[in-house]
Amino acid sequence: MKANLCLVLSVGLLGILSFGCATEPQTQSDREELNQDVQKTMQRLSVEDPGLPDFLTRADGYVVFPTVGKGAAGIGGAYGRGLVYENGSFVGYADLSQGTIGLQLGGQSYTEVIAFKDAASLQRFEQGKFAFAADASAVALKSGAAATAKYTDGVAAFVEPQGGLMLEAAIGGQSFTYQPK
């Protein structure tokens, strides 16, 4: 999959360096596939946590990364591509890149949804002024998670593991790229 190639190319010692991994999928077919993946992901997550759609409806915007691939052997990286929504309407594409360093080995995939409480936090994301630091936390998606989720600096993140095995004692952070539709 193209995301895996971007993952391999994106690993850097202190972060992620993207080498030509376009934020918007290059072909119409790839754009349709990403849209379908996001729709299926949101249907699945809504069943797992029926409060999530209401939480996202109250947010000014959100981004859905249906699959983020993560791998490491000492130095690690992750990459995912998603869709950005503002007031429930699709407004653009986003990339998630992550770099880590430390004791780590393995690979895994997960889903990530980030909600923006207000227009200012969404605008920070769209302007590229948003990143998760090493100490950022996300709520594990399960039944009732959205009901107890709290915004930190206008942002709430939800993560759902999909598969794989990762042994990890590492530090790093996530960075994001946004491209309007």
Residue 94, domain extent: 2-180
pLDDT band at 72 (very low <50, low <70, confident <90, very high): confident
CA atoms within 13 A on the CB side of 5: 6
pLDDT (average), residues 72-93: 93
Q: Mean pLDDT over residues 145-153, rounded? A: 86
What is the percent of the chain where pLDDT is above 70?
A: 83
- Predicted pLDDT of residue 137: 60
Q: Is the pLDDT of residue 83 over 80?
A: yes
The whole-angstrom separation of Cα 84 and Cα 115 is 10
Looking at the predicted structure, is the pLDDT value of residue 89 above 50? yes
pLDDT of residue 120: 95
Q: What total number of domains does the chain contain?
A: 1
Lowest mean pLDDT among 21-35, 49-63, 104-118, 153-167: 153-167
- Least trusted range by pLDDT, from 28-37, 95-104, 135-144: 135-144
Retrieve residue 66's tokens: 């249906």
What pLDDT is stored for residue 168 in this prediction?
65
Residue 1 CA to residue 14 CA, distance in Å, equals: 25
Provide the CB-side half-sphere exposure for 136 (13 A, CA). 21
Q: Are strands 131-132 and 139-140 parallel, antiparallel or unpaired?
A: unpaired
User: What is the structure's pLDDT at 21?
Assistant: 63
DSSP H stretches of helix in the chain: 2-10, 28-48, 52-58, 119-126, 145-148
Nearest one of 34, 140, 150 to 94, comparing CA atoms: 34
Question: With 70 as the cut, is the pLDDT of residue 71 above it?
Answer: yes
